[in-house]
Amino acid sequence: MHLKILVTAGDGIGPEVTREAVEVLTEVLRDTGHTYSIDQRAIGGIAIKQFGRPLPEETLAAALDSDAVLLGAVGSNEFNSLPPEKRPEVGLLQLRSALGGFANLRPAFAFKELAACSPLRPEIIDGADILFVRELLGGLYFGQPREWNKTTNEAWNTMRYTKDEVARVARIAFELASKRRMKVTSVDKANVLEVSQLWRATVTEIAKDFPSVALEHQYVDAMSMHLMNQPKNYDVVLTENLFGDILSDESAVITGSLGMLPSATIGGKVNLYEPVHGSAPDIAGKGLANPLGAILTGALILRHSGGLEAEAAAIEASVRKVLEQGFRTPDLARTNPQSFTILSTTEMGAKVRETIKTMLVNA
Ligand code: NAD
């Protein structure tokens, strides 16, 4: 297959971590005989400087013409004085909306080697491997009417879903669960909210098309506790927009560092892939950024846009191997730094590539 990837590296550590992700992707695609093209375009603060706006037309056109977009991060202190609608972050919101993805996938998994980075006890997180599927285009964040009426001192937002919006994201959750551990946990607040009653009824209906996948329903308040007490009980967790925003951030503590987390937004015209972290201006340009979240995001591109499961798994396995061997970026070695070999961003990228190369040769 030919995979056409657009990289929008963005600001701060975005270019540093995406460079390593691209090198790893190139290594894997080349060594496994796939053809690919990787193009680069500006977004965010760098695009404001070069083009006067955070999402230039040529970037959008290139994104719509690709199979997958890999975004680094946007945001720069330099633009903090601009009004919110002109800031770098707007470029990302515009890109997300143009690409139209409605299902945000966020894995939260425990690396045994990073157990000390998590505030949860190792015996709780060991073996945890959750995939959040969060609906991204509906619910409270987009529902109308919404207003802050400063005359009457009232404000309101609307949580609204159509059956079709729930059904399409539920279908994605069941399809993904059928390739994993065959379980979907759907999160709602059906004891209080009518929207959640529609959500629960629709998810239950879609489940009938996937008889081999187990479905359970959890209330969001209980779920926030269960995720911290027994994360190992969950496989695919399906949520509406607001609940998923909160629960997926809460579950980031399972992995232990923001720098480790990948994400994908699928279901629209073109899938968008981003590490979860931001542009981290405090460490940008110092070689301190952890590129593993971006590298693992590259694995999601291969899995969800390339259909290349073995190649995606090879990237994930090599990240694990590198950690097993005691290599760490500084964010992963806050406790006990003397026990590890501390690597810069580029050294960590090179270590992952070296490990993949050996794996592919021996495969
Ligand atoms: P952030 O994720 O950039 O940083 C939070 C903390 O985590 C910082 O201390 C940072 O040094 C650390 N960190 C983040 N990624 C890391 C990595 N890969 N390796 C090591 N340490 C890492 O969040 P923030 O500080 O709230 O935001 C900074 C800027 O990023 C803001 O302009 C914000 O709007 C933007 N932002 C962008 C995105 C995105 O592009 N998707 C997401 C979140 C924040």
Counting from 1 in the atom list of ligand 1, the atom nearest the Cα of 76 is 32
Backbone angles phi, psi at 22, to 5 degrees: -65, -40
pLDDT tens, position by position, 6-19: 999 999 999 999 99
Sign of CA dihedral 243, 176, 264, 165: negative
If you measure from the C-alpha of residue 72 to the centroid of ligand 1, how many angstroms do you get, rounded to a whole number? 11
Nearest to 22, CA basis, from 278, 301, 239, 246:
301
pLDDT tens, position by position, 142-162: 899 999 999 999 999 999 999
pLDDT band, residue 256 (cuts 50/70/90): confident
- Looking up tokens 């509906």, which residue turns up? 138
pLDDT band, residue 360 (cuts 50/70/90): confident
Sign of CA dihedral 124, 130, 135, 136: positive
Sequence letter at residue 236: V
Is residue 328 over pLDDT 90?
yes
Give this prediction's pTM.
0.92
If you measure from the C-alpha of residue 150 to the centroid of ligand 1, how many angstroms do you get, rounded to a whole number? 33
Please state whether beta strands 103-109 and 68-73 pair in parallel, antiparallel, or not at all (unpaired).
unpaired
How many residues in the chain?
363
Distance of CA 26 to the CA centre of its chain: 20
Distance of CA 222 to the CA centre of its chain: 24
What is the greatest pairwise CA distance in the chain?
70
H or E segment and range at residue 32: none
Distance of CA 46 to the CA centre of its chain: 22
CA torsion, ordered 107, 231, 251, 102, to nearest 10 deg: 40
SS (H, E, C) 166-227: HHHHHHHHHHHHHCCCCEEEEEECCCCCHHHHHHHHHHHHHHCCCCCCEEEEEEHHHHHHHH
- Residues framing ligand 1 (Cβ under 6 A): 13, 17, 73-75, 89, 92, 258-259, 274, 277-283, 289-290, 293, 331
Instruction: Tell me the two tokens of residue 134.
Output: 């969060």
